[in-house]
Amino acid sequence: MTTAPVFAVVGHPNKGKSSVVATLSQNDRIAIALEPGTTRDRQPYPLTVDGGVLYTLVDTPGFQRPRRVLQWLEAHSLDAADRPETVAAFVHQHRDDPRFHDECELLAPLLEGAGIIYVVDGSVPYSAEHEAEMTILRWTGRPSLALVNSIGDQDYGDSWQAALGQFFQVVRRFDAVRAPFDQHLSLLRAFGQLEPGWEQPLAEAVSHLSEQRRQRRREAAALTARALADMLSWAEQRTLTVNQAASQGSDDLARELRERWYQRQRQREQSLRLEVEHLYQHTRLNRQEAELSWHRDHDLFSERSRKLWGVSRSYLATAGFGAGAAGGVGIDALTLGHSFGAGALIGGLIGAAGSVLYGDRLAASALNISGWNQGLQTARFGPVQDSQFGYVILGRAVDHWWRVAHRNHAGREPLDLQPTDTHWLERLDRSHRSELQRAFEQCRKGRPMDREQHQRMVDAIEAAFAAYDHWRLNPT
């Protein structure tokens, strides 16, 4: 069994050290902030997959007094051979000296065998003040790699590369917030080149992480399938006594059940969001303002959002709504055979979001009241009769999944779920589309799916993820 490599992430204050650690250790709890001096003490963050540590990153505070440290080192070194010991002597001697707290914290893991990841900000020009830092790091004699992480918009990467190349074995550009997953893997391979003993553990880390990513996508599709089946087949019920039935009009009753039904759908969608976020180890995404709240103007249930989420009439036609759809027949006409039409459904749901369009008409028609049985009656609202609802929920879920799966753990901005204006779902192949349509129909009719059917639905959703991913990367 090989030991997992350890890397200390070091550099100037406020240049993205903690951001690099957060992204590469998939840990969104690490403190990242605009103010310098956010990280006060060194802290190891292991990346664990299936109970095994693949590598550990040590977050550290930034250099505070590199020139003073270098002066001390130069004054206490006899020749190049004793430089690592001189650095160790410095740390030993200044461990309790508050002036050099930060330097001792960042050098200690290097003395214990960690490799160096030196982080600079490529959006500000190179300056000689970094030379003292780089010289101190070189004196430790540890394997080293420099990362040019750009915080702002300017690009001084080339001048940085030239300077860094003289001090570090490998120099890479890496944007901690935006770098796609492939670049994480390529960076890990570069770490493996720093020391012979690290090549194998980091090659294993790359293969574990690739496999984990495939599994997560599969699991996210399964979670989405479960939520869809649940939401599409959901009905609210209430049992009424004779007195209750007499005192409450059916409009009133429908309104009550409808409110509960909306509430339940919202909660179920929210719980799917959390499940997917936790799957990808995002534990504190800010969804309050920018993302999953119910904006009135692109509400889940509005006609506009149906269009935005990519469910076009031609898609509905191919998915099983009949030839009339392609000819431009209105949505209501397409679904005439159902117990309530898409127009009424959408209108009613808009009603829930604040407008009163169609509200009561829908409420009355969606309510189903049983006959009397031993002095009791059952009122039932749902399940939703239009499979279009499924496409809206699916569209939102796929978009959320994509943003979470592609989000680095250094990201601290709110997750902003902007609706798209392209019918990306049409890129899904015909057989998976039909599979989805079949699954939605089955849920609508309240028929439970067997294992195989459920599995086919998961496959179709995974294919929808892939289609969306492809569309995002090749939008035209």
Ligand X SMILES: Nc1nc2c(ncn2[C@@H]2O[C@H](COP(=O)(O)OP(=O)(O)OP(=O)(O)O)[C@@H](O)[C@H]2O)c(=O)[nH]1
Q: How far apart are CA 5 and CA 192, in angstroms?
A: 9
Residue 388 in contact with Mg ion, rule: CB under 5 A: no
Q: How far apart are CA 137 and CA 114, in angstroms?
A: 12
In whole angstroms, how close is the CB of 120 to ligand X at the nearest point? Answer: 10
The DSSP output letter for 318 is: I
Residue 176 in contact with ligand X, rule: CB under 6 A: yes
In whole angstroms, how close is the CB of 95 to Mg ion at the nearest point? Answer: 21
Site for ligand X in 281-340 (CB under 6 A): none
* CB of 386 closer than 8 Å to CB of 270: no
In whole angstroms, how close is the CB of 156 to ligand X at the nearest point? Answer: 15
- What is the Cα Rg of the chain in Å? 29
Q: 141, 29, 156, 133: which is closest to 82 by C-alpha?
A: 141
Site for ligand X in 391-420 (CB under 6 A): 412
Site for ligand X in 17-36 (CB under 6 A): 17-19, 32-34, 36
Of the candidates 9, 15, 18, 424, which one interacts with Mg ion according to CB under 5 A?
A: 18
In whole angstroms, how close is the CB of 107 to ligand X at the nearest point? Answer: 15
Q: How far apart are CA 14 and CA 201, in angstroms?
A: 30
In whole angstroms, how close is the CB of 26 to ligand X at the nearest point? Answer: 15
Residue 359 in contact with ligand X, rule: CB under 6 A: no
Stretch that binds ligand X, among 12-20, 80-88, 308-316, 379-387 (CB under 6 A): 12-20
Cβ proximity to Mg ion, 38 vs 355, nearer residue: 38
- Strands of the 52-59 sheet, one edge to the other: 43-49, 52-59, 6-11, 115-121, 144-149, 170-173
* CB of 30 closer than 8 Å to CB of 18: yes
Q: 474, 398, 402, 463: which is closest to 434 by C-alpha?
A: 463
Cβ proximity to ligand X, 14 vs 335, nearer residue: 14
Q: What contacts 24+ positions apart, CB below 8 Å, involve 83-87?
A: 83/139, 83/140, 83/141, 84/111, 84/139, 84/140, 84/141, 86/139, 87/111, 87/136, 87/139, 87/140
CB atoms within 10 A of CB 127: 11
**What token pair was written down for 280?**
């990808």
Residue 249 in contact with ligand X, rule: CB under 6 A: no
Site for Mg ion in 421-460 (CB under 5 A): none
In whole angstroms, how close is the CB of 14 to ligand X at the nearest point? Answer: 4
Cβ proximity to ligand X, 123 vs 135, nearer residue: 123
Cβ proximity to ligand X, 63 vs 261, nearer residue: 63
SS3 7: strand
Exposure b/e, 33-49, CB count within 10 A at least 16 = b? eeeeebbeebbebebee
In whole angstroms, how close is the CB of 57 to ligand X at the nearest point? Answer: 12
Cβ proximity to Mg ion, 59 vs 277, nearer residue: 59
In whole angstroms, how close is the CB of 65 to ligand X at the nearest point? Answer: 14
Owner of token pair 């990519």: 310
Residue 356, contacted partner among Mg ion, ligand X, none, CB below 5-8 A by kind: none
Site for Mg ion in 34-73 (CB under 5 A): 38-39
Cβ proximity to Mg ion, 18 vs 302, nearer residue: 18
Site for ligand X in 54-73 (CB under 6 A): 61-62
Residue 176, contacted partner among Mg ion, ligand X, none, CB below 5-8 A by kind: ligand X
- Strands of the 236-241 sheet, one edge to the other: 236-241, 376-381, 367-369
Cβ proximity to ligand X, 33 vs 242, nearer residue: 33
Cβ proximity to ligand X, 392 vs 415, nearer residue: 415
Residues at the interface with Mg ion (CB under 5 A): 17-18, 38-39
